[in-house]
Structure 1
Amino acid sequence: MSDEPEPSNSVSGFEEKFPTKQTIYFGLSKFGWVMAAGVGGFKVYFYQIKLGLGWEYISLAFMIFAIWNAINDPLFGIMSDRTQHKLGRRIPYMRYGAPFLAISFIMLYASFIPGTNQIGLFLYLLLTLFLYDTFFTLVVIVNISLLGELALTAKNRTKISFISGVISGIGSAIAAIVPPMLLYNDQPLQRPIDPFQIFVIITGIICFLTLFIMSYYLKEKLMFSRDEPLGFFDSIKYTLKSRAFIILEVIIFIGVFLSTFVGTGVAYYIDYVLDLKGFNASIPIIIYMLGNLLGSFVFAVLAGKYGMRKSLMFSIPLLSGGLLLAFFPTNLWEVILPILLIGFAISAFLIYLDPFIVDIADQDELRTGTRREASFFGVNALITKPAESVAVWALTGMLVAVFAFVEPVIVDGSAIPQPQPANALFGIRFLMSVVPALVLVLLLIAVYFYPLDGPKYREMKLKVRKLHKEKEKRFLEGVAEGEVLDQET
């Protein structure tokens, strides 16, 4: 019987079995760190409004942090790809990095340094950002790199991304809904420990447990551990030689900038423009999550039929329209439609991002013979992670310097939020709608030029499938000759 796949009308050119159990385990492994990352969307608001750290210090901390934030990702990605361990290239880092990730996450929000000590608070933010991102990068890069081993076709990868996203999305929803109820209250932090900080501790524990436990259920394809690893500089060279990867980096840089810019600004938008407190402050987030869930399902289906590139291009005008509509609301009822549309449209970027990078790893494997998802995820971060710091610097700087946002007043070491003038309220609305809508034009242009699509894409997938069959055959022959197999392939 021939190993060649049967012809198919699918985007990838053939059909493959869907890995249901591993997809569920994959989603559960992401649950905790996605929840922690969701809480991270409130860290700028927490340090500025609740701890009273000035925007100049926040911007400086994130700009310094951007250097390490960019460097550590390719280092850890290439290190993972070069690892030869009986558990594989990914599982050891997930399992043994999980407790350090949880502890550093809790530390990030555990500062009791008074707002009067701006230098001390700045140094604490900088130190804990470095620690948290180090372990976050180490664990998350290896975790998301497993996607390339679970499936080969774009249809199955986007389906895995959707299903695992629904599972981990529950954690994301909790992280988006609970903090506003605990933070948006015009009150200083409670001492000795604030309810928000208790929530952070619970999140850290969940992050540890989901990663650690699922590391015993997720299975790597150990045949890829037998690939001859590239040297550090060769790995960087081959990664940057990919035209598709360079264009994708432009796409992701713009996407990361926008998601950080809007994700950070939404706290100010809900608290000051919509003036929502308590549970009401969580309602826009719930609406966003519902739109996101619906959009994830729709765009997962569209990717299987039309491909990820065309589907992503379709989502961008929808997202731009939702953002522009968000300029006008001043209360909860008026914001429902814009938020629903934004959540629906942005889901395409969220579920396609990882499969895009894994597709490029497929193309690279044909050139180098080595499977290197983690290297691509790492170098991706080297180029795009600075977008997070630039977004925080741009948002906080423009709010205060251009639109006269009034920062909290420090009284007896506690930060007391202040009423905002009309200019500041206009600025928040403008920065949350018009600015990102204009930036989306650049994103649309970049996606248009992305090359992995159409007949050549299908041909590439068929070649990769054949290569994997050859690797599997060589691996099993090696096992039959006496190698010890510690884990299922």
Structure 2
Amino acid sequence: MGVRFIAGVFHLPTAVLYGSLSFFLSVLHNVFLLYYVDTFVSVYKIDKLSFWVGETIFLIWNSLNDPLFGWLSDHVFLSAKQSSIEISTPEVVLKRLRALSRNGPLFALSFLAFWVSWAHPGLQFLICLCLYDSFLTMVDLNHNALLADLAVSADERTRLNFHCSLFSAIGSLSVFASYTVWNKEDFFSFRIFCVILAAISALGFTVSTWLLRQRFRTGTNTASDQEILKELYVEESSASPEKKITLLEYLRQLSRHRNFLWFVCMNLVQVFHCHFNSNFFPLFLEHLLSDRISVSTGSFLLGISYIAPHLNNMYFLSLCRKYGVYTVVRWLFIIKLLLSLFMLLAGPERIYLLCIFIASNRVFTEGTCKLLNLVITDLVDEDFVLNRRKQAASALMFGMVALVTKPGQTFAPLIGTWLLCVYTGYDIFQRDALNNISAEPQMDSSPFLTVTLRQGCFYLLVFIPITCALLQLFAWSHFTLHGKRLITVKAYRQAQNEIPPDIKTI
């Protein structure tokens, strides 16, 4: 039985092994997002100044480390001599897998550093956040870059992304399990729970990357694979000299990459909207629904918002196979606009519609974010063709996209709280804790503040998606990497030989 199981593991499809990496990432990251702030504020009693200093430094590092790590990972590909690369072995894929095998377990260890007090809260907060985000970035960049390196065809990339969504949804179940052990007064059970999660994640990264590396090492001697690997390269005249590309030159090339510029404009708005929904989800539940729905219904809405985007994304990916990513994303923007306009006309008193809208708004917005990785892989292909690269710089492209779009994470709470304060006069940062936010209206003898705050939350809920959808539709209408242009770009990458669309059997 044991032998049969081991044999089955060795014959798992590449897409399953690739997708499983999403499980080992999400099983930790969702727990981190839910509890790290509450742990430092309520358990370790971090002071406000240390918290904001740590968050500010983290926001700067969070934006800069993506392009930095992407450049360190891929700059060698931009100036490598064609003749020095042994294209009979998938060096690019093996390089990504080696990075994942190292950084995956370190990512799990950095996750554990949050749940035990080992330094002054302010110092521990800063060190833990920067360490965790560094390893998270390395894992994310290399995992996303593999999506572009493992396959060129849109069909195979959507299949890989489908497995990522499936395993991410399974990994999100750790959020539900964490509720049973979360206790601020007795932290021991939660710590044991986190140790178990980290062990599963570290072991999973080690085993999955080892299996994938064995597959690529042993499977590259066949003539078929030697041909397949040539799709990673564009032949140039042997007389053309090698040109070393600096970071400044690469940035100049990106500044001339029209579709990249329109995409990051659209994606900046998307990142803003995703984090706005996450930041203000509890606020909307509190002021729009808390007196109209039960606690269990509110918990269900919160829980489903973590799992449903991954499940929903699997359906979106099936549509992408049929109609293309560009068309599906455009229709998602249109649906977001129409639903928001409909909710605006319906008003805040339609409770069931409001519940559906609050949940669906986050689910559809998060679902769109998951599809955009496919668009970035297409941009990798176009960058490869436009600049006649010897090797596609996948991780660097993902890093540059993150550099431009991650400020949306900061804009979301700043703009949202500013708009709420302008409309209602209510400053959320004057409260000691977000959980007590509903206390302020009750302290006022007049119901006017309650009504005004409720109305302000409703307008914030509907006008932000309307504005985001209009801006995104405008930017997306200028994005031309679809249809015949996309087919031409992919054909050029595969033009060296008559080859299958994938580097390995997906």
TM range (shorter): 0.7 to 0.9
2:100 equivalent in structure 1: 94
Deviations 1:225-283 (A, max 9, x none): 99988544444443443211111111221111111121122234345654488755431
CA drift of 1:315 comes to 0.5
**Correspondence list, 1:342-381, <5 A:** 342=361, 345-346=364-365, 348-366=367-385, 367-381=388-402
Take 1:198 and 1:155, find their aligned partners in 2: how far apart are those partners? 41
**Correspondence list, 1:144-159, <5 A:** 144-159=144-159
Deviations 1:289-339 (A, max 9, x none): 675356324322322232211211101132345556499668985554224
- Aligned residues between the structures: 442
> Is the CA contact (8 Å cut-off) linking 1:48 and 1:408 kept in structure 2?
no
CA drift of 1:96 comes to 1.1
Take 1:48 and 1:426, find their aligned partners in 2: how far apart are those partners? 33
Find the structure with the greater CA-based Rg. Answer: 2
Q: Given the superposition, is the C-alpha separation of residues 171 and 356 from structure 1 closer, same or farther in structure 2, using an over 3 Å criterion? A: same
Take 1:137 and 1:20, find their aligned partners in 2: how far apart are those partners? 27
Greater CA drift, 79-88 or 427-436: 79-88
Counterpart pick for 1:266 among 281, 285, 291:
281
> Is the CA contact (8 Å cut-off) linking 1:36 and 1:105 kept in structure 2?
yes
Greater CA drift, 140-149 or 415-424: 415-424
CA drift of 1:89 comes to 1.8
> Is the CA contact (8 Å cut-off) linking 1:62 and 1:126 kept in structure 2?
yes
> Is the CA contact (8 Å cut-off) linking 1:45 and 1:264 kept in structure 2?
no
**Correspondence list, 1:22-421, <5 A:** 22-42=14-34, 46=38, 50=42, 58=51, 60-81=53-74, 82=76, 88-108=94-114, 110=116, 121-175=121-175, 177-178=176-177, 189-193=184-188, 195=190, 199-219=193-213, 230-270=245-285, 273-275=288-290, 280-288=297-305, 291-292=308-309, 295-322=312-339, 325=343, 335-339=354-358, 341-342=360-361, 345-346=364-365, 348-366=367-385, 367-395=388-416, 402-405=425-428, 409=432, 417=436, 419-421=439-441
Q: Please give the secondary structure, in 2, of the residue aligned with 1:88.
A: helix
CA drift of 1:45 comes to 5.7
Deviations 1:121-148 (A, max 9, x none): 4444333221111111112101111111
Percent identity, aligned pairs only, is 21
> Is the CA contact (8 Å cut-off) linking 1:400 and 1:406 kept in structure 2?
no
Deviations 1:22-48 (A, max 9, x none): 111111011121233333443586268
Greater CA drift, 146-155 or 422-431: 422-431
Q: State the TM-score, normalized to the length of structure 2.
A: 0.73
- Structure 1 stretches lacking a partner, 5+ long: 1-18, 114-119, 476-486
Take 1:198 and 1:417, find their aligned partners in 2: how far apart are those partners? 29
1:451 equivalent in structure 2: 480
Q: One-letter code of the match for 2:198?
A: G
Take 2:428 and 2:181, find their aligned partners in 1: how far apart are those partners? 22
CA drift of 1:375 comes to 0.7
Q: Does 1:442 align with 2:471?
A: yes
Q: Please give the secondary structure, in 2, of the residue aligned with 1:452.
A: coil
CA drift of 1:358 comes to 0.9
Q: Given the superposition, is the C-alpha separation of residues 21 and 141 from structure 1 closer, same or farther in structure 2, using an over 3 Å criterion? A: same
> Is the CA contact (8 Å cut-off) linking 2:277 and 2:362 kept in structure 1?
no
Q: One-letter code of the match for 1:403?
A: Y
Deviations 1:339-382 (A, max 9, x none): 45335533552332111111111112222232110010111111
> Is the CA contact (8 Å cut-off) linking 1:403 and 1:424 kept in structure 2?
yes
Q: State the TM-score, normalized to the length of structure 1.
A: 0.75
1:21 equivalent in structure 2: 13
> Is the CA contact (8 Å cut-off) linking 2:417 and 2:427 kept in structure 1?
no
> Is the CA contact (8 Å cut-off) linking 2:58 and 2:129 kept in structure 1?
yes
Q: Please give the secondary structure, in 2, of the residue aligned with 1:35.
A: helix
Q: Please give the secondary structure, in 1, of the residue aligned with 2:494.
A: helix
Q: One-letter code of the match for 1:77?
A: G
Greater CA drift, 84-93 or 363-372: 84-93
Take 2:379 and 2:37, find their aligned partners in 1: how far apart are those partners? 36
